[in-house]
Amino acid sequence: MNYRIEIGHGSGGQMTRRLIRDLFMKNFRNKWLDADGDSAVMQTYGNNIAMTTDSHVVSPIFFPGGDLGKLAVCGTVNDLAVVGAKPEWITAGFILEEGLSINTLERIVISMADEARKAGVHIVAGDTKVVKKGQADQIYINTAGVGTVDDKCLHISSGKKIKNDDVILINGTIGDHEAAIINAREQFFESSRLRSDCASVNQQVHELLNQCNSIKFMRDVTRGGLAGILTELANMTENGIEIKEADIPCNDAVMAFCETLGFDPLQLANEGRFVTILSKDEAQNAMEILNNFNDNKPACIGLITSAHPGQVVMETAIGGKRLIETPWAAKTPRIC
């Protein structure tokens, strides 16, 4: 690995996956890392514990629909929720740049506290470091999260129970977060309806797991977008995946943004969306559950197939076929 880190290594695309596989997992290898989930699930003293960690370097730190503090809590809660865990505790480490306004820091901390209360988690430990002016961009936050996992949910992050004809659901529109961040950073459109979907999804996941008996897999749709999640799943399980472009929910503002600037909404990140795979006979019930949550636009977007194993194929809006691939690297860094 005789090369240097590039900004694309943090994009969530193929560059990120290669770095994780060839450097971190190679050297840190153990059975918990090998499971390759959003959180590690471990058994200790007869209990199942899920643990995750994340760093948040979004720019700008305030954006339509959220801010760095809210994002830090949501991202951690969601990584726990989609492995079937009940999020319980979070730690927060702050890297502060000299000269940061205390008022700005307070806004971020209050936002974290508000979102933690909404999600039902507790921020129980933390750390603070200050670096000289110019050695950071205002504020970075690192979080770790711990939750408990019921035995019946231990399979969710692996996808091992996925079968042909299982259906794929998403709990809402795609691309909202990254489009909002890009526009807030670059100011392409001054009076835009672009707004991040940043939200904790643990309550939605909890209701699905309580009322549906055939949940096979969950994953939150973050860096790499829907395309990244589905191609990763196809490679991981060696199943084929078929989706329909016409069924994938996307807000008009995001579609217009992508068409104007040349982005693919399938590759844009979200921070309040997750994919669920479950048996076809429970799909309607799952959709009704998700519809009970405000602002959701859940949709059945595709199914698992024995055809083209390891690949994701989309039926386009005009009736053609398109192979979906993981982006090599995101076009814009620091979105989460």
**Digit-coded pLDDT (tens) for 180-190:** 999 999 989 88
pLDDT at 152 over 80: yes
| Residue 112 · residue 148 · CB < 8 Å | no
pLDDT at 277 over 60: yes
More confident residue, 220 or 328: 220
* CA–CA gap between residue 15 and residue 331 (Å, rounded): 12
Give the mean pLDDT of 224-236.
92
* CA–CA gap between residue 237 and residue 160 (Å, rounded): 7
What does the DSSP assignment read for 60-110?
Answer: SSEETTEEHHHHHHHHHHHHHHTTTEEEEEEEEEEEEETT--HHHHHHHHH
pLDDT at 328 over 80: no
pLDDT at 122: 98
| Banded model confidence at residue 220, pLDDT cuts 50, 70, 90 | very high
* CA–CA gap between residue 252 and residue 178 (Å, rounded): 15
| Residue 180 · residue 63 · CB < 8 Å | yes
The torsion angle over the Cα atoms of residues 15, 16, 22 and 23, rounded to 10 degrees, is: 130
CA angle 32, 37, 38 (to 5 degrees): 120
CA angle 80, 68, 42 (to 5 degrees): 15
pLDDT at 34: 87
Give the mean pLDDT of 149-170.
93
> What's the gap between Cα 276 and its chain centre?
12
pLDDT at 136: 94
More confident residue, 135 or 334: 135
Which superfamily does 7-153 belong to? Answer: PurM-like, N-terminal domain (3.30.1330.10)
SS3 call for 324: strand
pLDDT averaged over every residue in the chain: 93
Report which DSSP code applies to 155.
T
CA distances from 325 to 228, 238, 241, 307, 312 (A): 7, 15, 12, 16, 7
pLDDT at 1: 55
Separate counts of helices (H) and strands (E) for the chain:
10, 14
- The residues, ordered by sequence, that sit 6+ positions from 165 with a Cβ below 8 Å of its Cβ are 280, 303, 304, 305
Query: Could you check whether the bond before residue 60 is cis, i.e. omega within 30 degrees of 0?
Result: yes
Q: What percent of the chain has pLDDT over 90?
A: 80
pLDDT at 296: 74
| Banded model confidence at residue 175, pLDDT cuts 50, 70, 90 | very high
CATH architecture assigned to 167-324:
Alpha-Beta Complex (3.90)
More confident residue, 20 or 130: 130
How many CA atoms are closer than 13 Å to the CA of 264, on its beta-carbon side? 15
pLDDT at 289 over 80: yes
More confident residue, 39 or 192: 39
pLDDT at 20: 87
Identity at 110, one-letter amino acid code: I
What residue spans define the domains of the chain? 7-153, 167-324
pLDDT at 2 over 70: no
* CA–CA gap between residue 39 and residue 80 (Å, rounded): 6
| Banded model confidence at residue 58, pLDDT cuts 50, 70, 90 | very high
| Banded model confidence at residue 5, pLDDT cuts 50, 70, 90 | confident
pLDDT, tens digit, 9 for 90 and up, residues 31-42: 998 888 889 999
| Residue 326 · residue 224 · CB < 8 Å | yes
Tell me the residue ranges of DSSP E strands in 150-191.
Answer: 167-170
pLDDT at 265: 95
pLDDT at 330: 66
For CA atoms 303, 304, 309, 311, the dihedral sign is positive
Give the mean pLDDT of 19-25.
89
Say how many residues make up the chain.
336
